Amino acid sequence: MKHIIKTRIFKMLSLLPNRLGYSLYHFLQDKSSKLTVESKIQSTYSTYMSVVRILQKNNINLEGTRIAELGSGWTPIFPYQLILEGNAKRVDTYDINEHYNLKQIKKLNDYYSNSYNGTVEIENKGKYPLLNAVTYFPKTNICNGKFEDIDMVLSRFVLEHVSPNEIIEIHDFLFSNLKSGSYVLHLISPSDHRAYGDDSLSLQDFLKYSEKEWNQIQTKFDYHNRLRLPQYLALFKNKFEILFFEHDKINIDSKGYEKFKELTIHEDFRKYSDEELIAGSVNILLKKK
């Protein structure tokens, strides 16, 4: 099955020295991606509009904001949209890895230059030519950033790949360094990501494993913390005010729910309700008091 093959590849890559392992990982990701820059932009735009919707619902405007992004991903599409569509003042984007792809960024710059009739300002910042209001901090823990004038922190499908202890560390840092009235918005995808490429799996398949068993399956290339909605809320509420949260609800008539009910959930997760176990597309807006 697809997920078994992918796991075996990641296991082999994880045995290699970091530099070689990540080089091959990037090569395989680039070769396996069938999406054009245009389709990636469209896909990210739906996420951008979710951010706008959530902020508007809470009377928050992107215009003029100074943003720190947690997790940069493969291309700076999201920061570009925050600036060009949302009129954010600047975006500092942090990632503990360095996944940016120069070839894809040049295509991205060409797309936006053509879309805005050459009026976008691109600067060569290190090895990557980027929109002048975007600053990329690769191989940098966000806890080493400067946040005195940051108005908002955003993450897009990142927290599920961060360990619980690191999530606590990050939010302790943000609480200590963000000014009062700043916001933190997380878009979280807490489902088993292996199921996105292999429909034989339930989106909650990984909940059948013990922590030891799951750690024998996953690697640094596909780490997933498996936190459920109540656990995320518990991590945040001691520091920040939770202004808003939402998640996908159960559809008991769906095939996805049938797959879920066929699972034998591990005892580590049995204290949670079906709704808490299945909750997907979790969006949480925090405010520093």
Residue 186, H or E segment: strand 183-188
Q: How far apart are CA 148 and CA 178, in angstroms?
A: 6
| pLDDT of res. 224 | 97
| Angle between the N-to-C axes of helices 37-57 and 77-84, in degrees from 0 to 180, rounded to the nearest 10 | 50
Give the three-state DSSP class for 136: strand
Domain 2-287 has CATH 3.90.76.10: no
The reported pLDDT for the residue numbered 28 is 81
**DSSP assignment of 193-207:** GGGGS-TTS-TTGGG
Pull the structure tokens for residue 3: 């997920």
Task: Tell me the residue length of the chain.
Answer: 289
10-residue mean pLDDT profile of the chain (289 residues): values are 82 89 83 82 95 98 97 96 97 96 93 91 91 96 95 97 96 96 97 92 97 95 96 92 94 94 97 96 96
Q: Which pLDDT score is estimated for 118? A: 84
Other Cβ atoms less than 10 A from the Cβ of 202: the count is 23
Inter-residue contact 202 to 260 (CB < 8 Å): yes
- Give the other-Cβ count within 10 Å of 193's Cβ: 18
* DSSP secondary structure of 48-100: HHHHHHHHHHTT---TT-EEEEE---SS-HHHHHHHHTT--SEEEEE-SS---
Report pTM. 0.93
Q: Where are the domains of the chain?
A: 2-287
Check residue 289 and give its pLDDT.
Answer: 86
Alpha-carbon distance of 287 to 289, in angstroms, equals: 6
Instruction: Give the list of residues 6+ apart from residue 196 with CB closer than 8 angstroms, or none.
Output: none
Per-residue model confidence (pLDDT) at position 1: 54
